[in-house]
C-alpha cells in the first residue's frame, strides 16, 4: 500500500514541485495551501507523513503541528523552515515533529529524511503492537510436545511458516490453537510485522465489523473521526481470527470478499483499501454442520480451509502430559519466585488418568495453583490436587478385572471413544475402497455429507 504524504505550504511552486517529485518516488501525495485546509486533509485522507511549513497564512505551523498530533499522534511531521528559524524548528521537534528542512532544500536530502521518518514510524508502530500483543500463553516459549500427534502439528507449522497461505486451525478449547497461529507467524517472513488477534465470539457483530474493517468519519452516530481497522493496522503482518465459527453471516460475506483480493471498504467508505495481510483462523466448532444449518458460508469455509491444522486434545497426547507438567512447574516456580518442587508418583499417575476437559489451558492453571500453595517447595503430593483428581477411579487388580468382565461382559478399561474411532476408520476405509477413492460417493455410502467425511479424513490424517 502506497505511503500517503500531505504537503502544507502556501507557496504554489513548492507544493507542485514536491508533489511531482514525491509521486515519482512512488508516494501518494496531497497538498494544502494553509493550516485550515491542511487539517481537513489530515482528517479525511489520514496521511502517513506531513511536510508542514512553519509559516502559514491561516494558522501558525507550530499550532497546526499540535493539532495534527491531536488527531493522530503517529503521523510523522517534517517542518519546512526559512533561513534563521532554527530555534522554532528545534521547538517543533520537542513538540513532536520528526525533523526539519531549511528552504531552499535539496530534494535528495529531503527524500532521505522522509524515508527515515517513515521507517521510524513503522518501527514504532510494530514495537507498540508487538508489546501490546505479547504471547498470552507463554512469552518466548515454543510449542511443547513429543507425542506423534504434536510432532505432526509441528511439522505442518514448519511448512506453513514458509508458505504464505490461509490456515484454518481446529481443535477443542484450550488445546493451544492461538499458540499454533503465533508460532506460524513468528517463523514466517512476516515475523517482524504485527500479529493481531481478535476473538470473533467475544465482540458483538456491529462492533466486530468496525474492529476488522474500520470506519469513516460520520459513518454512524458517534463516529466523530475515522478509524483504521485491524486489517489495515496489520498491513504486512498477520491477523488471527479466533472462534471464526461465531462470525455473523453478514460479516462472513465481507471477509470472503477480502480474502479474494485483499481489498475492503471501511464502514461508510467509498474507496477500496488494499493491504497485504495473512489470515489465520481457528475454531472449536463443527463448521461442516454449521454449513448444513446455513450458519456458515460454504464458500468462506473453502477460502479459510486452504490448509487445515488439527490440534489434538491433551487426553490423546499422553506422552506430553508429564512433559508439560514439568515445564509449567519450572516456569511458574521461576516467575512466582518460588522454590521449585517435584511431583510425587501418585500425582503424575493422577495426571495421566485425568481426562483434562480444559486441555493444556486447564493443566497450566492446575500447575500454577499448585505452585502458589506449595509454599515450602519440596514434593507436591496427591492431597494438594483439586477435588476432581481425588475421586478418580483406581485401576482394579488382575483378579478384580476378570471378575468385572464376567459380570458385565465388557473389559474394565474399555474406551468407548477409541472403539467408535476404530469402527469409524474401518467403515470409512471400506467405503473409500468401494467408491474407488471418490470421496463424494464414499460419503453417500456412509450416509454423511462430503464435508463430514473430509473432516474425519483430516482428523485421522488421511491414513486410508
- Per-residue pLDDT 10s for the chain (464 aa) are 789 999 999 999 999 999 999 999 999 999 999 999 999 999 988 999 999 998 888 778 889 999 999 998 889 999 998 866 778 888 888 889 999 998 888 899 999 999 999 988 887 776 665 555 444 434 444 688 889 999 999 999 999 999 999 999 999 999 999 999 999 999 999 998 999 999 998 888 778 988 899 888 888 777 777 888 899 999 999 999 999 999 999 999 999 999 999 999 999 988 899 999 999 999 999 999 999 999 999 999 999 999 999 999 999 998 899 999 999 999 899 888 888 889 999 999 999 989 999 999 999 999 999 999 887 778 999 888 888 787 655 544 444 444 444 444 555 555 666 777 777 888 888 888 788 888 888 888 888 888 778 878 887 776 56
Distances, alpha carbon 343 to alpha carbons 59, 322, 347, 350, in Å = 71, 10, 6, 11
Query: What distance in Å separates the CA atoms of residue 157 and residue 192, rounded to the nearest whole number?
Result: 18
Query: What distance in Å separates the CA atoms of residue 276 and residue 357, rounded to the nearest whole number?
Result: 38
Cβ-contact 327, 186 below 8 angstroms: no
Q: Omega into 107 within 30° of 0, i.e. cis?
A: no
CB within 8 A of 195, min separation 6: which ones? Answer: 129, 130, 133, 181, 182, 185, 186, 234, 237, 238, 240
Sheet bearing 76-81, strands edge to edge? 28-32, 4-8, 49-53, 76-81, 99-102
Query: What distance in Å separates the CA atoms of residue 287 and residue 459, rounded to the nearest whole number?
Result: 14
- By C-alpha distance, which of 87, 117, 454 is closest to 286? 454
The C-alpha cell at 418 is 477409541
Query: What distance in Å separates the CA atoms of residue 262 and residue 279, rounded to the nearest whole number?
Result: 10
Cell 476405509 belongs to residue = 429
- What Rg do the C-alpha atoms of the chain give, in angstroms? 29
- By C-alpha distance, which of 52, 165, 45 is closest to 103? 52
CB within 8 A of 19, min separation 6: which ones? Answer: 7, 29, 31
Cell 521547538 belongs to residue = 91
Distances, alpha carbon 177 to alpha carbons 184, 187, 225, 308, 384, in Å = 11, 16, 35, 12, 30
Q: Which domains does the chain have, with CATH numbers?
A: 4-131 (3.40.50.2300), 148-312 (3.40.50.300), 315-394 (1.10.8.60), 416-459 (1.10.10)
- Write down the pTM of the prediction: 0.59
Helix 416-434 vs helix 450-459: crossing angle, to nearest 10: 120
Amino acid at each position: 500500500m502506497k505511503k500517503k504524504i500531505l504537503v502544507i505550504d502556501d507557496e504554489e511552486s513548492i507544493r507542485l514541485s514536491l508533489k511531482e517529485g514525491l509521486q515519482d518516488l512512488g508516494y501518494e501525495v496531497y497538498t494544502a495551501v494553509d493550516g485550515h485546509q491542511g487539517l481537513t486533509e489530515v482528517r479525511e485522507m489520514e496521511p502517513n507523513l506531513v511536510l508542514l511549513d512553519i509559516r502559514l497564512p491561516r494558522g501558525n505551523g507550530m499550532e497546526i503541528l499540535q493539532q495534527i498530533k491531536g488527531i493522530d499522534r503517529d503521523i510523522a511531521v517534517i517542518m519546512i523552515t526559512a533561513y534563521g528559524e532554527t530555534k522554532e524548528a528545534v521547538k517543533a521537534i520537542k513538540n513532536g515533529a520528526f525533523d526539519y528542512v531549511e528552504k531552499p532544500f535539496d530534494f535528495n536530502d529531503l527524500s532521505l529524511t522522509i524515508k527515515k521518518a517513515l521507517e521510524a514510524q513503522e518501527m514504532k508502530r510494530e514495537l507498540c503492537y508487538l508489546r501490546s500483543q505479547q504471547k498470552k500463553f507463554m512469552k518466548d516459549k515454543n510449542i511443547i510436545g513429543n507425542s506423534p500427534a504434536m510432532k505432526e502439528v509441528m511439522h505442518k507449522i514448519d511448512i506453513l511458516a514458509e508458505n504464505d497461505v490461509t490456515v484454518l486451525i481446529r481443535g477443542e478449547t484450550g488445546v493451544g490453537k492461538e499458540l499454533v497461529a503465533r508460532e506460524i507467524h513468528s517463523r514466517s517472513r512476516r515475523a517482524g510485522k504485527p500479529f493481531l488477534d481478535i476473538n470473533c465470539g467475544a465482540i458483538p457483530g456491529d462492533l466486530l465489523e468496525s474492529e476488522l474493517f474500520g470506519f469513516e468519519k460520520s459513518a454512524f452516530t458517534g463516529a466523530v473521526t475515522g478509524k483504521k481497522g485491524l486489517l489495515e493496522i496489520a498491513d504486512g503482518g498477520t491477523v488471527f481470527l479466533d472462534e471464526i465459527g461465531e462470525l455473523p453471516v453478514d460479516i462472513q460475506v465481507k471477509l470472503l470478499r477480502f480474502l479474494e483480493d485483499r481489498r475492503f471498504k471501511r464502514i461508510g467508505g467509498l474507496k477500496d483499501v488494499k493491504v497485504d495481510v495473512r489470515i489465520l483462523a481457528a475454531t472449536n466448532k463443527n463448521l461442516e454442520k454449521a454449513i448444513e444449518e446455513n450458519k456458515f458460508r460454504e464458500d468462506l469455509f473453502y477460502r479459510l480451509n486452504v490448509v487445515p491444522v488439527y490440534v489434538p486434545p491433551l487426553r490423546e497426547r499422553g506422552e506430553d502430559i508429564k512433559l508439560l507438567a514439568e515445564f509449567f512447574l519450572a516456569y511458574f516456580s521461576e516467575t512466582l519466585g518460588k522454590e521449585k518442587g517435584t511431583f510425587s508418583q501418585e500425582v503424575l499417575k493422577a495426571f495421566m488418568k485425568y481426562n483434562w476437559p480444559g486441555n493444556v489451558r486447564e493443566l497450566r492453571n492446575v500447575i500454577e495453583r499448585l505452585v502458589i500453595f506449595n509454599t515450602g517447595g519440596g514434593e507436591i503430593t496427591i492431597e494438594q490436587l483439586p477435588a476432581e483428581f481425588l475421586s478418580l477411579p483406581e485401576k482394579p487388580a488382575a483378579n478384580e478385572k476378570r471378575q468385572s468382565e464376567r459380570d458385565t461382559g465388557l473389559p474394565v478399561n474399555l474406551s468407548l471413544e477409541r472403539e467408535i474411532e476404530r469402527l469409524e476408520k474401518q467403515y470409512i476405509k471400506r467405503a473409500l475402497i468401494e467408491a474407488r477413492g471418490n470421496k463424494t460417493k464414499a460419503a453417500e455410502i456412509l450416509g454423511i455429507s462430503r464435508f463430514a467425511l473430509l473432516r474425519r479424513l483430516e482428523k485421522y490424517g488421511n491414513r486410508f
